[in-house]
Structure 1
Amino acid sequence: MSEITRVPLQPVAKGSLTRIWLGVALAVALGSAAAVATRYHGLVVETVKAGQGAMPTSADVVLVNYVGRLASGKEFDRGEKAVMPVEGVIPGFAKGLQQMQRGGKYRIEIPASQAYGANEQKSPATGEVVIPANSDLVFEVELLDFKSAAEIERQRQMIQQMQQQMGGQGMPDMPHGAPKP
């Protein structure tokens, strides 16, 4: 079930409707060449390449490729096939993930208030500040896949059951005549 946010509409000035329709016509004429950007209280989620299907919820776990940069362009983090719970990341990143579809590529602009706020982030290895306090962040994200926590738990239980059934015996013997690895 999707959440609907109601926003009060402002009165439209006389003559504005014509300009609005011209803008809509121009956007349609440009077609898919233009990226789609959605704004959420300062957070911007831009669709670079649309994905397909459902979107993750806050209870899901995602598999993503990503690059994180400061607003200046300086890279501070990168991950390939990174697994992360949606509710375990900074608020702006979590909200952005919930606007994505499998196979899509996105650009998320996260204001400091939805990132780390006034808290600087240091490298655990060097102690160097990698994200200064009050930094806006930009992420390029490819959503490879996502699963619910329940799906992951079922898979974990199946693997555990298979291991118990094997009883620590290792792989079963190959039939006679079959080559052994």
Structure 2
Amino acid sequence: MRICVYLGSSAGTRPIYRDAAEQFGTLLAKRGIGLVYGGGMVGLMGVIADAVCAAGGEVIGVIPEALRAREHDHQGISELHVVQTMHERKAMMANLADGFVTLPGGIGTFEEMFEAWCWSQLGYHAKPVGLLDVGGFYSGLRDFIDHVVEQGFLQPRHRAMLLVESDPEALLDRIAGFVPPETEHWLGDKDV
């Protein structure tokens, strides 16, 4: 099993974010779960990759050619795929993974998480999508998503597709027990 993790190319301002990325990476390796991520060695991306490697786990990175200099592609991982575009990066990461987890990050991280969740809602894949709410980082977003449900723009069953936990063990347990919801129009997960 492999989990695609979306997280920041920055480390953020609080040590808790770095600690959470390191802890989550170690936990993935201990559970025998491979990491699929953006391929860089900067920020939280580098922290999680280093943690998985240090614990003896599999790490697969996918990085666009244009970001190699900025994100400093990680040379110490199991596999590094260099692609041409962000679209190729996201599609390859999704195809290599059996599920998705988001840790703290910026707009790129948000965009990736929302896309994976949207693809699930639309029936492009039946993989779990998780959000690790580290130190309340995503509490405002959680409130906003619930507001979107209240306002009738998101169905409760689609809201439930996003698995949210503040404890990494609990999140991975929920992912391990994930049963894909019934979709109105299953499109399959080939080449998302």
TM-score by length of 1: 0.23
TM-score by length of 2: 0.22
Q: Which has the higher strand share?
A: 1
Structure (1 or 2) with the larger CA radius of gyration: 1
